[in-house]
Amino acid sequence: MAAKELLAKLKKEKLVLEWRKKQQARASVLVTIEEILDKNLPKSYSKNIFQDKCQQVYQHIYDCYFGLGKSIYESAVA
């Protein structure tokens, strides 16, 4: 559930053209990840584990989603 909600929100609102080149856009993506994971991950995670999970998700999004709906997964769908 969290993954679907997060990806839908990012694609709709945050992963705009060249989002990776703009500091404010990158920060907005990270904040969105933190908000959605905070709402959906188990509360038993320590602050360090939570921050690590957020960073891992952010790095994956940064590496795989280029903006305007473009991602490395497009070729896998075809």
> Residue 60's closest CA among 16, 18, 7?
7
pTM, full prediction: 0.87
Spatial separation of the C-alpha atoms in residues 67 and 75, rounded to whole Å? 15
Report whether pLDDT(78) > 70: no
Higher model confidence: residue 66 or residue 9?
9
Mean pLDDT (whole number) for 27-43:
94
**Tens of pLDDT along 53-77?**
999 999 999 999 988 778 888 765 5
Predicted local confidence at residue 68, as pLDDT: 78
